[in-house]
Amino acid sequence: MPEIVELKIFANSIRDRFADRKVTDAACYKGGLDLRVLTAGKILTDVQAHGKELFFWLNGVPAFSVHLMLHGGFNVLNENLRPAAVDLIAEWRFENGEYLILYDPDGYAKIGLFASLPDVPEATAVTEDAFLQLLEKKKASVVKNVLCDQKCLRGIGNAYADEILYTARIAPSVKIKAIPPSVRQELYRAMRSVLENAIGTYGKKYRGALNGEMRDLVRVHTRARMTPDGEIIHCIDLGGKKTYYTDSQRKFDR
Provide the residue ranges of all domains of the chain, joining segments of one domain with +.
4-113, 128-245
Could you give the count of Cα atoms lying within 13 Å of 20 in the half-sphere of its Cβ? 1
Give the chain's mean pLDDT: 93
Superfamily of domain 4-113: MutM-like, N-terminal (3.20.190.10)
- The answer to whether the CB of 28 falls within 8 A of the CB of 112 is no
Residue 84 has pLDDT above 70, yes or no: no
What number is the average pLDDT over the span 104-114? 94
What number is the average pLDDT over the span 97-126? 94
Residue 82 has pLDDT above 90, yes or no: no
Residue 70 has pLDDT above 60, yes or no: yes
pLDDT band at 81, cuts 50/70/90? low
Q: What's the confidence (pLDDT) of residue 139?
A: 95
Task: Name the nearest CA neighbour of 110 among 54, 45, 185.
Answer: 54
The answer for residues whose C-beta is within 8 angstroms of residue 223's C-beta and 6 or more apart is none
At 23, which helix (H) or strand (E)? strand 23-28
Residue 93 has pLDDT above 60, yes or no: yes
Q: pLDDT digits over 18-63, tens only?
A: 999 999 999 999 888 999 999 999 999 999 999 999 999 999 999 9
What number is the average pLDDT over the span 108-127? 95
Percent pLDDT > 90 in the chain is 88
pLDDT band at 239, cuts 50/70/90? confident
What are the φ and ψ backbone dihedral angles of 215, each rounded to 5 degrees? -130, 25
Pairing relationship of beta strands 99-103 and 110-113 according to DSSP bridges? unpaired
Residue 83 has pLDDT above 60, yes or no: no
Comparing 145-154, 209-218, 242-251, the range with the smallest average pLDDT is: 209-218
Q: Which pTM does this prediction carry? A: 0.92
| Architecture of the domain made up of 128-245 | Orthogonal Bundle (1.10)
Residue 176 has pLDDT above 60, yes or no: yes
Check if 4-113 and 128-245 are the same fold.
Answer: no
